[in-house]
A and B are shown apart, each in its own frame.
Chain A
Amino acid sequence: VNAPDAYFTQLYEEHFDFVWRSVRMLGVAAETADDAAQDVFVVAHRRLADFEGRSLPRTWLFAIAVRVVKDYRRSRRRKMRLLDRVMHMDREPANTPFDAALGSERRDTVLCALEALADEQRAVFVLADIEELSAPEIAQALEVKLNTVYSRLRSARKIMAERLAQLSQDKLLDDPESV
């Protein structure tokens, strides 16, 4: 097997965790996050000639990740609709991740709350409030105007705050002793 060149290898090693985490937070399930991260890097390798250093490698990879995740989510939604029709399955499982203590389930709580955001809001929120990128970097990664970043971030924070409060309330109602 021919290994990719040193540049790409370095890119992969430095940013794999970031890419994996990003696809996960953007809505790819844990069991398919490996595949999605791999697809991001496969695309990145093929499009390396397009990357001319006008942005940070991280924002460039995130821009690819956003597209890959959108594709994954679209495929998954389609598949789930088909399956629901075929299998008459319950849409929601009987137990939610919030049956367990909120503290120990912080990761799942945040992932669940992120589901409440639209794709555009979610991308901005993840980059700003979890990955700690600056607004201009986010604007570059998502190819949107700076003010769009601000407005999406404001609305995303509002929705996230409401959703997290709601999840905490649900948790309190389900298991008052745990809080």
Chain B
Amino acid sequence: MRARDPKQEQPLFSPETRAALRRELGPDAHAQARVRGALWSHVATGSLSPAAQRIDALLQAKASATATQAAGTASIKTTLAATVHSVTGKVILVGILVGGAGTAAVMRSAPASDHAAVAKPQLAAPMLERTSPASDHAAVAKPQLAAPMLERTSPASEYAAVAKPQHTAPMLEVAVHPETPAAPLPEPDLGATPLPAAPPHTTAAAPRSQHQRRERTPQTRSLERAPAVSSEAPAAPQQVTSSSSPPQEQLAENVQAPTAPEPRPQHELGAELQLVRAASDALQRRDTDSALAQLQRHAALFPRGALRVEVEALRAIALCLAESDDSAAVSGRFLELHASGPLAERVRRACRPR
């Protein structure tokens, strides 16, 4: 069934409004630099916020499940390939014995050529990975790189061309290793195939299993990209060198053995809540000294607590109720940082000039 184009249905906003909204809803001019500092530090140390930990664990589990599924699929493919080899070998043997004219046709569709066709995207992929993100996309968007080979082969090889490159790794292993019992045929196409001059790491990486590929860290990916990058951009090898320092190992450990998300202990949030409740109760009694003492205690015990924004709001309210000299500065800072937050109006109301 041909799906409808959503653009045919009327969008709510005109193109000009959409562009304006993108501008208005975007970050301020300093946000990128602001986040970059903290982000680079996180990347270097491998530390994660609780939210990032949870999402990372979730995606790790998803990737593992996909890898397991792919490994199962690859295993079936290997078995199928072996069966085809075996059957084809028998057919050729019969053909040779009989001297029939169909032998050549059978040989043209022999699975060895499939393997050669499969090998090509496998080898081509790392070459493309070394380039920009746009060409990463191109690696998949342009399967015609391997198409000339595939066109000569049978429908079975078309299937191989559709399959994701990493799924083909085990099949490649069957094709390359001569000791594989299920490959009685010589490998005429494989030997004759003009394989691209791949760097040594590519050749070594080719027979790796899907699971091993999944285990790569971003740093190892960088290392694998290094040769081509270095030929194009001299700055890249320095980054590769620096990324192999101890923090990189620490990162690699984190990726290979991801720690389970560490949720904030319930008792900690409970303790925070207790202090906030005490401060709130004190404010309702107009006992600002007691409220401020509770809030001060919270700040000392939980400098990065989950309720620190609320504590700041209560502190501003308490100072305003106490008509403290600090009230203007504290409430002003809070409203500057949280102008549209749910507590802003409450702070504004408490700190309104009387």
- Contact residues, B200-244 vs A (CB, 8 A): 213-222, 225, 229, 233, 235-236, 239-240, 242-243
- Judged by a CB distance under 8 angstroms, whether B88 is at the interface is no
Q: How distant is B155 from chain A, measured CB to nearest CB, in Å?
A: 24
B310 touches A83 (CB 8 A): yes
- Contact residues, B271-300 vs A (CB, 8 A): 273, 276-277, 280
- Measured between beta carbons, the chain B residues less than 8 angstroms from A135 are 3, 5-6
Q: How distant is B340 from chain A, measured CB to nearest CB, in Å?
A: 6
A128 touches B11 (CB 8 A): yes
A33 touches B214 (CB 8 A): no
- Measured between beta carbons, the chain A residues less than 8 angstroms from B345 are 93-95
- Measured between beta carbons, the chain B residues less than 8 angstroms from A154 are 9
- Measured between beta carbons, the chain B residues less than 8 angstroms from A110 are 21, 25
A130 touches B25 (CB 8 A): yes
- Measured between beta carbons, the chain A residues less than 8 angstroms from B309 are 31
Determine the distance from Cα of A31 to Cα of B129 in the docked complex, in whole angstroms.
Answer: 36
A2 touches B235 (CB 8 A): no
B55 touches A64 (CB 8 A): yes
B137 touches A57 (CB 8 A): yes
- Measured between beta carbons, the chain B residues less than 8 angstroms from A107 are 21, 24-25
- Judged by a CB distance under 8 angstroms, whether A72 is at the interface is yes
- For B226, the closest partner residue in chain A by CB is A5
- Contact residues, B159-209 vs A (CB, 8 A): 164, 166
Identify the stretch in B45-53, B76-84, B98-106, B110-118 within 8 Å (CB) of chain A at 4 or more residues: B45-53
Q: How distant is A156 from chain B, measured CB to nearest CB, in Å?
A: 9
Contact with B along A38-64 (1 / 0, CB 8 A): 110111011111111111110000001
- Judged by a CB distance under 8 angstroms, whether A172 is at the interface is no
A29 touches B341 (CB 8 A): yes
- Judged by a CB distance under 8 angstroms, whether A141 is at the interface is no
A11 touches B133 (CB 8 A): yes
A164 touches B12 (CB 8 A): yes
Give the dominant DSSP class at A's interface.
Answer: helix
Contact with B along A1-41 (1 / 0, CB 8 A): 11111111011111011001100110001110111111101
Q: How distant is B252 from chain A, measured CB to nearest CB, in Å?
A: 11
Of B31, B138, B214, which one neighbours A34 at CB under 8 angstroms?
Answer: B31
Max count, chain A CB within 10 A of own CB: residue among B63, B221, B233: B221
- Measured between beta carbons, the chain A residues less than 8 angstroms from B269 are 82
Interface residue tally of chain B, by bracket?
35 or more
- Measured between beta carbons, the chain A residues less than 8 angstroms from B25 are 21, 24-25, 107, 110-111, 130
A48 touches B133 (CB 8 A): no
A64 touches B39 (CB 8 A): no
Interface residue tally of chain A, by bracket?
35 or more
- Measured between beta carbons, the chain A residues less than 8 angstroms from B26 are 17, 20-21
- Given A39-B51, A130-B21, residue A1 in contact with residue B40 (CB < 8 A): yes
B18 touches A7 (CB 8 A): no
- For A3, the closest partner residue in chain B by CB is B40
- Contact residues, B1-16 vs A (CB, 8 A): 3-6, 9-13
A106 touches B24 (CB 8 A): yes
B337 touches A31 (CB 8 A): yes
- Measured between beta carbons, the chain B residues less than 8 angstroms from A177 are none
A8 touches B218 (CB 8 A): yes
B225 touches A7 (CB 8 A): yes
B51 touches A106 (CB 8 A): no
Contact with A along B21-52 (1 / 0, CB 8 A): 11011110001101110111111100011011
Determine the distance from Cα of A8 to Cα of B40 in the docked complex, in whole angstroms.
Answer: 11
- Judged by a CB distance under 8 angstroms, whether B139 is at the interface is yes
Of A35, A42, A129, which one neighbours B13 at CB under 8 angstroms?
Answer: A129
- Measured between beta carbons, the chain A residues less than 8 angstroms from B225 are 5, 7
A14 touches B133 (CB 8 A): yes
- Given A45-B218, A129-B12, residue A67 in contact with residue B55 (CB < 8 A): yes
A149 touches B41 (CB 8 A): no
- Judged by a CB distance under 8 angstroms, whether A131 is at the interface is yes
Contact with A along B230-273 (1 / 0, CB 8 A): 00010110011011010110010011000000000000010001
A sample of 9 inter-chain contacts (CB < 8 A) reads A10-B133, A17-B26, A39-B51, A42-B39, A42-B49, A52-B140, A72-B51, A87-B277, A93-B346
Query: What is A's interface to B at a CB cutoff of 8 Å?
Result: 1-8, 10-14, 16-17, 20-21, 24-25, 29-31, 33-39, 41-43, 45-57, 64, 67-68, 71-72, 75, 79-80, 82-83, 86-90, 93-95, 97, 106-108, 110-111, 128-132, 135, 146-147, 149-150, 153-154, 157, 160-161, 164
Leading 5 A-B pairs by shortest Cβ distance: A93-B345, A53-B136, A48-B218, A20-B27, A107-B24
